Structure 1
């Protein structure tokens, strides 16, 4: 599977700062110190509908992570998956009387278009669950053969008790885990499981559903969590720098994935930092496909909204905060974009060297994009009030906004 084209990231003078970021597993800020190549895995979409603002906010957060790292003169190895076979996709395909493969391909293509328009940096590897199955099967077999997994009526389940570090990602109590498991794709009430929280690794073939050769596992398809583990371990290895996604993935997805990887390798942790973006609401409720309260990036683009304004609307909120999308949020972003573009279109302006350092400092401090935006606002206000004599300043501001925030002026 191919990703989307990369927009050029301008090189800025000097060097950025190492990133301090909130780690869910420790519930505190940690300073990341990657090697020459920083490694990040971000969980991708299940392509049964178009990219909504919640998706966009999440991928914007991890785009900022990459940009901070690039500004420190590191390379970035970014991997993202596509869950291109799963129950929600199959259910939507049946509802709409469309082939599930065609639906996945259609929505994945639209996602690529949205990411390109928003100037999100693409992953080096963009891997679908289906194409990862040959790598998933042997991992499930290893877990089963080691005693970390067991069979139940043909399905294979992971035993959470096989990982002594289970629970260290989300830090939730068992009752909360069970509740969230039921809400987020698990089956805690299925009779016969060793532990209600045990997640499925391999689902035996069901009549009328797609299935693949699973070797000694029999025909079936992979569970959700093992998909990302197989892809991450194959391309990044254990101990990569950041595992990212929305806050609703901390449990069960990232918790279970960490335990799968740790049981497979005997190493801890799977990722040095577990980083989670907040949720975006509409009309008082979290945007979700099940509720249908969605604002789609593609719909805004079709209505003529500049993707740079959409991106500024996202950047106006700290990535970890839960916030609500409103017409006013978008109007404010459009107005800000107009002010910024007018300011950098002038032939000279106030010196921008301090601004670049303010932006770097803000973003290195847990991706504080709102503070970075406020710093640009102050430069723009100076430009509007009294201008300046630095002929290079508008260009410096344009390049900094582009390189660090992904917004083209």
Structure 2
């Protein structure tokens, strides 16, 4: 298996540090609002990666945090007349409510930053003791230039970074810092009504970057397999995580850095983000879509490093493609009733070869698009097999199992459930079957036309009437 490591900008062989076990940390949301499609893209991308590891037989220790204290949390809570903890509770609950329909598995551990304040304070003190951080007017800053490898993940020179950052610093903050590139690991409380904790440097709160350094090492150890997140986190967030953590532990922090691409919107394919105000929340979108699995399928079947162009047209295409797979599954499932005992060796061989192709695609940096092409081949095989005069139980079972399993890696399920059809449509199908049995072909054709207008396509087979959506 090979994965693309952002640190080296190359595909590298992936071998877990511990046999049959993978330790993985993915940065979670800052919980001051509902998650948007960009947040969901990251969660779905790494959930799919996790699912593939589990499909391969690994135990995955998957840690994904909630940032429940930062400047945005404080500002939003103040604007809404609530407290930071109450705001966090509201949107953490909303996160679970919105991700459940998308079949995003809960992390093994989902820590909150505010539950780890003692560990954060201890971490900051260690950085001070080691000469990597210093206190200034109640703030504590990290000496970026003291860390020899600072900026390597972002593939930038620290002097260029300083030039680019110069316009973002106010005079008061510049006065507190030894160097413009130094960043806060602890922030002094600026107002009496601000949420804060007592520390050796006075009342304050953690900086954003230090939170993930503490939570990742607390739950996965000083050195672990994979750290993931959106590509926008490579700098400064993940860059600063590396500097802080390796300065404290003296060990390599992470073996492989994986970053997912943006979600873009509009004709200009502009990045979707809360700061740009062009985002669609998952909470709102779920009220508009009939089937959340279409959104999951749309997100999960684009290779994680590629950008996703979110549009109504692309969502409609995803719906058609998913229905194509579901139809193939139903066509084979329809034959369970007349399958005879035994196996079709030729078909079983084809299935085995297709599964091997699927695995090879996913082993190549989780190339879900090539893997999906294999699923379409399997569906084509399923459709052809369903048309055979005689089918065998073992082969029918294997085709259904593999479609469910391979789509399950993408997080798309529900194939074994009976397709939705309301009572009125089912009554029309039954009436048409009766009309055909009575050779009333005019009424049979009339009902077929009625159902076609409703997007229901009928197929008459020797085993009975099948249907699927147009």
Both proteins in one fold, TM over 0.5? yes
Per-residue deviation, 1:385:
5.1
**Which of 2, 7, 12 is the matching residue for 1:30?**
12
Per-residue deviation, 1:173:
2.5
**Which of 4, 17, 25 is the matching residue for 1:41?**
25
| 1:190-239 Cα shifts (integer Å, max 9, x gaps) | 2342221211011012213110122x222110001110011111111122
Per-residue deviation, 1:402:
4.2
1:282 maps to: 265
Query: Which ranges in structure 2 are unaligned for 5 or more consecutive residues?
Result: 336-343, 416-470
1:241-256 equivalences under 5 Å are 241-256=225-240
1:291 is aligned to 2:296: no
Higher Cα radius of gyration = 2
SS in 1 for 2:279: coil
1:377 maps to: 376
Query: Which ranges in structure 1 are unaligned for 5 or more consecutive residues?
Result: 1-18
- Residue 100 to residue 194, structure 1, CA distance change in 2 (3 Å): same
Per-residue deviation, 1:328:
1.1
1:20 maps to: 2
In 2, the alpha carbon distance for the partners of 1:290 and 1:43 equals 18
- Residue 180 to residue 234, structure 1, CA distance change in 2 (3 Å): farther
With the length of structure 2 as denominator, give the TM-score of the two structures: 0.78
In 1, the alpha carbon distance for the partners of 2:329 and 2:164 equals 48
Structure ranking higher on relative contact order (CA contacts 8 Å, 6+ apart):
1
Given that 1:177 and 1:252 are in contact with CA atoms closer than 8 Å, whether structure 2 keeps it comes out as no
| 1:245-286 Cα shifts (integer Å, max 9, x gaps) | 00000000101001101110111x210011100000112311
**Which of 69, 79, 86 is the matching residue for 2:63?**
79
Q: Which has the higher helix share?
A: 2
Given that 1:315 and 1:370 are in contact with CA atoms closer than 8 Å, whether structure 2 keeps it comes out as no
**Which of 121, 131, 135 is the matching residue for 2:105?**
121
Given that 1:205 and 1:211 are in contact with CA atoms closer than 8 Å, whether structure 2 keeps it comes out as yes
2:221 maps to: 237
2:292 maps to: 307
In 2, the alpha carbon distance for the partners of 1:27 and 1:355 equals 30
Indicate the larger mover: 340-349 or 224-233: 340-349
1:354 maps to: 353
In 2, the alpha carbon distance for the partners of 1:133 and 1:335 equals 48
2:398 maps to: 393
**Which of 60, 69, 75 is the matching residue for 2:53?**
69
- Residue 143 to residue 202, structure 1, CA distance change in 2 (3 Å): same
Given that 2:262 and 2:308 are in contact with CA atoms closer than 8 Å, whether structure 1 keeps it comes out as yes
In 1, the alpha carbon distance for the partners of 2:208 and 2:384 equals 55
1:134-283 equivalences under 5 Å are 134-174=118-158, 177-178=161-162, 190-207=174-191, 208-214=193-199, 216-267=200-251, 269-283=252-266
In 1, the alpha carbon distance for the partners of 2:275 and 2:242 equals 27
1:325 maps to: 310
Per-residue deviation, 1:69:
1.7
In 1, the alpha carbon distance for the partners of 2:172 and 2:233 equals 17
In 1, the alpha carbon distance for the partners of 2:172 and 2:293 equals 43
- Residue 24 to residue 144, structure 1, CA distance change in 2 (3 Å): same
With the length of structure 1 as denominator, give the TM-score of the two structures: 0.89
Given that 1:68 and 1:364 are in contact with CA atoms closer than 8 Å, whether structure 2 keeps it comes out as no
Per-residue deviation, 1:134:
1.2
Given that 1:401 and 1:407 are in contact with CA atoms closer than 8 Å, whether structure 2 keeps it comes out as no
SS in 2 for 1:30: strand
In 2, the alpha carbon distance for the partners of 1:103 and 1:296 equals 17
Q: C-alpha root-mean-square deviation of aligned residues, in Å?
A: 2.3
SS in 2 for 1:392: helix
